[in-house]
Amino acid sequence: MLTILFDGIAYGMLLFVLACGLAVTLGLMNFVNLAHGSFAMAGGYVALVVVNDMGWPFSLGLVAAFVSAAALGALLERTLYVHVYNKSHLDQVLFTIGLVFMSVAAVDYVMGSQQQFIRIPAALQGQFDVFGIGMSKYRLLIIAICGVITIALQLALLSTRFGSQLRASVDDQRVARGLGVNVGVVFAVTFALGSGLAGLGGALGAEILGLDPIFPLKYMIYFLIVVTVGGSSSITAPFFASILLGIGDVAGKYYVPKLGAFVIYTIMIIVLIIRPQGLFAHGRAR
């Protein structure tokens, strides 16, 4: 029982790191980016290659995942995404579905379609037994890393200059420009950071979520749930939504395996009907 809770929290925190970039682009910038999972997949595969094939240590693999996904994010943002920010939601949907299809086929071509795993150092395998609760060392690491990232993000958003620039840009681009904020750069950096975190999450999560070319499609709905169910008023809302989703999914699959993901989808639909702005939104109208 407590093990499920523990696994659920680890899973939820992982989802948060994967989805927090989307929480900003979709939740705050109101850009429907269905291709967010592609960046996570990119990070995952980079880590896979450098760790398994090139023999880098696991920690460096994670760094490589973050850097490469962030670089890819920055590149695509500057060359492609900027042209789509101001288009209709339908255009954004079509554009990002296109990117998903391309990434799925491209990874399939380069890496093959089978599921692959990143080699994890022996020190991280096995589990601790604390008061009879089996806690996997690896999941503990996930919780630690994701916890640090969450706190850092919250601090960065609230108390750094860049954080306030981002909040201003999201609130009203014109006003922000008037205040001397370079909105384009702010968005690009944010996008790159979000993609980088997704990449990191993809690498960290390869062990739990698996890594195969249809990753972006398989988890798209989960990322979207985190953002829409959580609501987009702050970074804490998607965080709580992630944890709830993580626990709910793990518990659902454990107790009612027959229904599988059915429970999660149904809960999502119900939440969206009752609270279209999200569970934790503070009535901020969009």
Partner 1 sequence: MSSVSRPLSAEIASRLITRARWSPLEIAFWIAAFATIYLFPEHHLILTEIVIWGLFALSIDLILGYAGIISLGQAAFFGFGAYVAGLLAKHGIMTEPVLALIASGLAAAVLGFLTSFLVLRGSDLTRLMVTLGVALVLRELANRFPQITGGADGLQGVTIDPVLGQFRFDLYGYTAYVYSLIVLFVLFVIARRIVRSPFGLSLVAIKGNPLRSAAVGIAVNWRLVAIYTIAAAYAGIAGALLTQTTAFASLEGFAFDRSADGLLVLIIGGTGYLYGGLIGALIFRFAHDYLASITPQYWQFWIGLILVIIVLVGRERIGSWLDPVRTLADRIGAWRASRRPRALGATPEGGGQP
Binding site for partner 1 (CB under 8 A): 26, 32, 80, 83-84, 87, 89-95, 97-106, 108-109, 217, 221, 224-225, 228, 258-262, 265-266, 268-269, 272-273, 276, 286
To partner 1, the closest distance from the beta carbon of 106 in angstroms equals 6
Q: Which is nearer to partner 1, 128 or 262 (CB)?
A: 262
Cα angle, residue 187 at apex, residues 185 and 188 outer, rounded to 5°: 60
To partner 1, the closest distance from the beta carbon of 244 in angstroms equals 16
The SS3 call for residue 132 is coil
To partner 1, the closest distance from the beta carbon of 8 in angstroms equals 20
Secondary-structure percent of the chain, ordered helix, strand, coil, rounded to 5: 75, 5, 20
B/e letters for 15-38, b = 16+ CB within 10 Å, e = fewer, are bbbbbbbbbbbbbbbebbbbbbbb
Taking residue 85's Cβ as centre, other Cβ atoms within 10 Å add up to 15
Q: Which is nearer to partner 1, 93 or 123 (CB)?
A: 93
To partner 1, the closest distance from the beta carbon of 83 in angstroms equals 6
Q: Are 204 and 255 in contact (CB under 8 A)?
A: no
To partner 1, the closest distance from the beta carbon of 93 in angstroms equals 7
Q: Which is nearer to partner 1, 99 or 200 (CB)?
A: 99
To partner 1, the closest distance from the beta carbon of 159 in angstroms equals 29
Q: Which is nearer to partner 1, 6 or 39 (CB)?
A: 39
Residues in the chain: 286
Q: Are 238 and 227 in contact (CB under 8 A)?
A: yes
Write the single-letter amino acid at 13: M
Kind of pairing, strands 133-136 and 127-130?
Answer: antiparallel
Q: Which is nearer to partner 1, 155 or 256 (CB)?
A: 256
* C-alpha to C-alpha distance for 283 and 216, rounded to whole angstroms: 31
Q: Which is nearer to partner 1, 121 or 260 (CB)?
A: 260
Q: What is the 8-class DSSP label of residue 179?
A: T
